[in-house]
Structure 1
C-alpha cells in the first residue's frame, strides 16, 4: 500500500465505495430504510412512555386502594367483634359458700369458693328449679322442701352459716315468694330482698372484672326486669327496665324497645367496649355458640338468632335494643356469674 501512488490509492478507495453503494442498492436501498424507520420510531417512543409499574400509575393504584378500603369497611361491619381472652383469677384456698336465688321463674342455687381477696370460683350450680316453688302448697310442705334443698348444699360441704337466700327484685311481688320467706325465717335463715338498683349493682360486682371497670358495662336480662349497670368512679350506676316476661302483660315490643334504648343510651360512650351479659334468655342464646366448657361466650349479633319461644323472643328484643342503643358489638355471657354471687362477695 505504501508503494502505491496517491492516484492509485484514490482509485482503490473509489472502487470500494462503489462496491458498497451497489451492494446497498442490491439489498433494498431506500425501501429498506423506510421499512426500518417505523420500528425505530416506535422503539424511540417506547422509551418515553411510562411503564406499567411507573410512578405515574399511582392514581389508578389509589382508586384500587379506596375500593379495597370500602370493601374492608363493609366486611368489618359483618365480622364478629374482637376475641375475648380474659381469664378470671382462681381463688387461693378459700371457703365454700352457698346462695339460693328466688327469682320470678323459680330457684337457682350456687355454691362458690371465695378467698380473702374476693377471688371466686363456681363449684356447683342448679338453674330453674321451679318445682321446689310450685309444689309448696302448705307451710309444712314449704319447710320440708326447703330442708331438702338446704340438705343438698350441706352434703356438698357448705357450712350451715354460709348458706344465704336472696329474693330477686322481680320475685318480691309474687305471692308464693312471701310464703317461702316466712318458712325460711322459721328455720332461722335470713332472707335478703333487693331493689332493682341493688340487684344491678350486685350483678356488676359478680360479673364485671376490675380491668373492665373503665370501659364496659353489664346487662342482666331477668324475667321480671332488666338491669343495666356500669361504674362511675368508685360508684355503681344501675337502671331498671322491662324483663323478658313483658309479653304476658300485653306490652308491645315497640314500647319495650323504646324504654330499653332510653335506659341503655345513658351508658357513657367510653363504657361501651364490652357488655357483660347474664340472665335466662342470654343463657339460651349462649348455648348455641358456646365452645366446649368455656366460662365466657361471646354472643352472636341479635340478627343471627331465630327464636320461636315467646319469652326468648322478648328477651332477644331487649338484647337487640341494648345493642342498637349503645353500638356495642361485643356481648360476653358469663356462665358462672349471678347477682347473688355478688351478694356473697359483699359479706365478710
Structure 2
C-alpha cells in the first residue's frame, strides 16, 4: 500500500510537470521538429516477424540500396510469454499464420526474417520455443540487448539528427537507450515496463533508470526518439495522423487516464519514461510510429 501511495504521488507530480510544460513549450513542440523521410527508389520488399515479451508482430517495408525505406504493412499481436500463458504449439501456429500473410502480400520467402527480442529470450518458455522452431526448420535471430539498441537507433533515428539526439526503446522486458559516439552505437539496458512482475519497486527502478539515462551526453539530448508499447499508448490520440514521427503530447489528463485505465504496465512505463525525461532534460520526445527495432534489423540485411 505504501509503495502504491508513493507512486501515485510521484505520478501526479510527473503529470503536473507535463501540464506546466504544455503551457510554456506547446508552441515550440509544434514547430521544432519537422522531418519527411526520403522515399525509396526502385526498392525491394522485406518482411520480419518479431516475438517479444508482450507482442507478436510483423512488418513489411520497401527499402532501396541507399537504405531509404517506407512502411508498407504491419500487424500487432499478443505473445503472453512473460505471463506464461502460451506454449510452443500456439507460437508456432501464429508464426505459420504470419508467414502465409506475408507471402500473400508479395514477399519472397527468402525476404522474410524471424527475430526474438532480448527481453523475450530471458523467459524460459521463449528458449524452448526457439529450439522448437529451429527443429522444424526455421532460422530465428535472437538479438542481444546491445543489438536491439543498435537496431532501434537504425529504425527510429532520422538522418540529420545523429549529433543532437538519442533513442529509447521502452519494452516490456527491458528498456534500451542508444546514441552515436564517433559513429559507434552505444547501447544501454535497464528495466522494462513489466518490472513489477519481477518484484521491483517504482522508486528503485526510477533511480536505476536515472543512472543509466545519465550516461547520455548533454549534447545528444535535444531530441529523444522513442518507441515501444507504452509510448504507443502515450501517442494514441495522434496515431490517426498516419505520420512516421509524432511529438508526444504534454496533456496531463491523457497520461492520468492511461495510468488509471491501462493498468500497472503503463504506470510502470510512465515511471521509466519520467526517469529518462527528467534525467536527460531532453527538449522534445518524439514517438516513432513506423514499427519497432526489427526495422533496423531489416535495414542491415543485404539489398
Same fold by TM-score, threshold 0.5 exceeded? yes
Q: Summarize the alignment of residues 33-112 of structure 1 with structure 2, pairs less than 5 Å apart.
A: 76=24, 81=29, 83=31, 84-112=33-61
RMSD of the alignment, in Å? 2.4
Please state how far the C-alpha of 1:111 moved relative to its aligned partner.
0.8
Q: Give the paired residue count.
A: 275
Unaligned runs of 5+ in 2: 1-20
- Note if 1:178 corresponds to 2:127: yes
Give the direction of change, closer, same or farther, for the CA distance of 1:248–1:170 in structure 2 (3 Å limit): same
Q: SS of 1:331's equivalent?
A: strand
Question: Quick one: distance in 1 between partners of 2:166 and 2:209?
Answer: 15
Please state how far the C-alpha of 1:343 moved relative to its aligned partner.
0.6
Q: SS of 1:147's equivalent?
A: helix
1:315 aligned residue (269, 275, 279): 269
Question: Quick one: distance in 2 between partners of 1:145 and 1:338?
Answer: 19
- Note if 1:258 corresponds to 2:235: no
Give the direction of change, closer, same or farther, for the CA distance of 1:155–1:75 in structure 2 (3 Å limit): closer
Q: SS of 2:194's equivalent?
A: helix
Partner of 1:339: 293
TM-score of the superposed pair, with normalisation by structure 2:
0.84
Conserved in 2, the CA contact under 8 Å of 1:98 and 1:158? yes
> Based on CA coordinates, which of the two structures has the bigger radius of gyration?
1
Question: Quick one: distance in 1 between partners of 2:71 and 2:26?
Answer: 34
Question: Quick one: distance in 1 between partners of 2:269 and 2:50?
Answer: 20
Give the direction of change, closer, same or farther, for the CA distance of 1:302–1:253 in structure 2 (3 Å limit): farther
Partner of 1:167: 116
Give the direction of change, closer, same or farther, for the CA distance of 1:330–1:175 in structure 2 (3 Å limit): same
Unaligned runs of 5+ in 1: 1-72
Please state how far the C-alpha of 1:179 moved relative to its aligned partner.
3.3
Q: Higher relative contact order at CA 8 Å, sep ≥6: structure 1 or structure 2?
A: 2
Please state how far the C-alpha of 1:135 moved relative to its aligned partner.
8.2
Partner of 1:10: none
Please state how far the C-alpha of 1:186 moved relative to its aligned partner.
3.5
1:233 aligned residue (182, 185, 199): 182
Give the direction of change, closer, same or farther, for the CA distance of 1:339–1:76 in structure 2 (3 Å limit): same
Q: Summarize the alignment of residues 10-29 of structure 1 with structure 2, pairs less than 5 Å apart.
A: none
